[in-house]
């Protein structure tokens, strides 16, 4: 197994373990009081979950997306993917602040604001990932850098991420439910790409 393949498996494991530790699905417009009552008693799980699904997964995400961009000689894939990973790391800090400071202090107003900010950043990250998947899949068509089935997964991921991203950015709960489909597609696309990526001419210019 290549080092990139290992990074892909780490990404997958971070998400699986993170969700198993504490599977909470609050509405995007949850009140501060609801956030506090839901997090109370689960602060340790919430902290570990943010570290895994946004922190560790964000680092792994950036490594894989940059590798895809370089393999496809696609500067757009590389830049947009790196931005998505950066947003994930910003979310890590906000999530830790929410779980470790605002909830214990029972600051409902701030908890509501930062929980909403997290959701909006999640939406931004989804839209960036949609762009990354779309650009990479277009660049990969007809080439042997990624398997054909992963190219189709990439297109499906782009559509699902656009829908869920709009839902999270604009607080549209119905559209945000598309995240239930976009996350599995993302896990398949990132992990599969990391495990099967073939080298291509390096990015130039």
Between helices 108-140 and 148-169, what is the axis angle to 10°? 150
CB atoms within 10 A of CB 39: 22
Whether 49 shows a pLDDT value over 70: the answer reads yes
- Using a 10 angstrom Cβ sphere, with 0-12 exposed, 13-18 middle and 19 or more buried, the burial of residue 109 is exposed
Distance, in Å, from the CA atom of 69 to the CA atom of 120, rounded to the nearest integer, reads 26
Distance, in Å, from the CA atom of 32 to the CA atom of 181, rounded to the nearest integer, reads 27
Rounded to an integer, the average pLDDT of 29-38 is: 94
Whether 187 shows a pLDDT value over 90: the answer reads yes
Contact 57, 91 (CB under 8 A): no
User: What would the pLDDT profile of 69-103 be if each residue is shown by its tens digit?
Assistant: 999 999 999 999 999 999 999 999 999 999 999 99
Helices within the chain (DSSP H only) = 3-21, 32-39, 43-50, 57-71, 75-97, 103-105, 108-140, 148-169, 173-176, 179-196
User: Looking at residue 203, what is its pLDDT?
Assistant: 42
Rounded to an integer, the average pLDDT of 59-64 is: 98
Instruction: Tell me the range of 25-39, 111-125, 177-191 where mean pLDDT is highest.
Output: 111-125
User: What would the pLDDT profile of 106-152 be if each residue is shown by its tens digit?
Assistant: 999 999 999 999 999 999 999 999 999 999 999 999 888 999 999 99
């Amino acid at each position: 197994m290549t080092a990139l393949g290992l990074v892909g498996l780490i990404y997958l494991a971070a998400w699986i373990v993170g969700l198993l530790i504490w599977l909470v699905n609050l509405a995007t417009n949850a009140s501060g009081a609801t956030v506090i009552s839901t997090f109370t008693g689960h602060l340790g799980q919430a902290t570990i979950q943010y570290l895994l699904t946004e922190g560790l997964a964000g680092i792994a995400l950036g490594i894989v997306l940059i590798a895809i961009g370089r393999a496809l000689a696609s500067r757009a894939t590389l830049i947009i993917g790196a931005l998505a990973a950066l947003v994930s790391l910003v979310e890590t800090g906000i999530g830790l602040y929410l779980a470790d400071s605002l909830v214990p202090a029972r600051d409902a107003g701030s908890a509501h604001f930062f929980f909403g900010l997290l959701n909006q950043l999640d939406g931004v990250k989804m839209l960036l990932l949609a762009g990354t998947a779309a650009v990479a899949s277009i660049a990969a068509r007809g080439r042997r850098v990624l398997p054909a089935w992963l190219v189709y997964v990439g297109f499906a991921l782009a559509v699902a991420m656009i829908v869920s991203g709009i839902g999270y950015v604009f607080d549209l709960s119905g559209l945000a439910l598309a995240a239930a489909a976009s996350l599995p597609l993302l896990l398949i696309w990132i992990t599969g790409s990391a495990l099967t990526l073939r080298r291509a001419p390096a990015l130039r210019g």
